Amino acid sequence: MKRILTLFTLLLLAASLKAEDTRCYELRIYTANEGKLAALQARFRDHTCKLFEKHGLTNVGYWVPVNAKDARLIYVISSPNRAAHKKSWRAFLDDSDWKKTFAASTAKGRLVAKIDSTFLAATDYSPAVKPAKAKGGRMFELRTYTTAENRLKNLHARFRDHTCKIFENHGMTNIAYWTPMDAKQGSANTLTYLISHASQAQAGKNWRGFGGDPAWKKARAASEADGKILAKRPARLYLKATDFSAIK
């Protein structure tokens, strides 16, 4: 009986420990040519997403800016590791179905004017990144923080120990936290994360509540006792999920 209880305790402990997320994530931002955003979304909805999955690339989420004048499609895909990601992408590009789809969709002009790509690794405090849908819909916020030299570890500690919890206390949902894999894209000083709010109006209320929270003020003061962490103001982008996004 004692052995059974010990085994049960160990199983509970193992279940409570968060498995490290070692997947390779890729954040891709497509700037559509004028009047082509709807066609670009249709290509993903009807063809590209399925071809990604066929070749081992997991569709994490697809979004467009809340600002209708911003003609960009922002999405995240993932794979087991960087090498597998590269192999899967090559297979996708070589797929005859993709070549046919691309040719048909660009017969009257290219859909995309610019592509930005960043490979990302999940932080140790990032929630498990998985499909999820909120009742009634929600608005997403993509934020990027750039730290002063050698201060990224301090920013991670502040999020890990304080910020993420305080976000939740003020109606924000933590979805994912990443750092770039490559030095040229900020692996030493950049944090990119995705959170959500019930609506854009609620986002303002959430941030005001967070900013005025004594727990946040205390955590911020303690973390910056030896100097400021951020090198500049965070960049942010309000987003809404596409109808074909796994995270809505």
CATH number of the domain enclosing 75: 3.30.70.100
Range of the domain at 171: 123-243
Position 4 in a domain? no
Position 5 in a domain? no
Q: pLDDT tens, 92-139?
A: 999 999 999 999 999 999 999 999 999 999 999 999 998 998 888 899
What span, in angstroms and rounded, lies between the C-alpha atoms of 85 and 184? 19
What span, in angstroms and rounded, lies between the C-alpha atoms of 163 and 193? 12
Position 11 in a domain? no
Helix (H, G, I), strand (E, B) or coil at 21: coil
Angle at 150 between CA 144 and CA 156, to 5 degrees: 50
Strand ranges for the chain from DSSP E? 24-32, 58-65, 72-79, 112-122, 139-146, 173-180, 190-197, 235-241
The answer on 38 and 127 residing in a single domain is: no
CA 107 to chain CA centroid, nearest Å: 32
**Is 190 in contact with 144 (CB distance < 8 Å)?**
yes
Position 134 in a domain? yes
**Amino acid in the structure at residue 114:** K
Report the pLDDT value the prediction gives residue 122, as an integer from 0 to 100: 98
**Is 23 in contact with 81 (CB distance < 8 Å)?**
yes
Position 9 in a domain? no
Position 43 in a domain? yes
The answer on 115 and 52 residing in a single domain is: yes
Q: Roughly what angle, to the nearest 10 degrees, separates helices 96-105 and 82-94?
A: 60
The answer on 144 and 198 residing in a single domain is: yes
The count of structural domains within the chain is 2
The answer on 134 and 63 residing in a single domain is: no
pTM of the shown model: 0.91
Task: Please give the residue that has the higher pLDDT: either 77 or 17.
Answer: 77
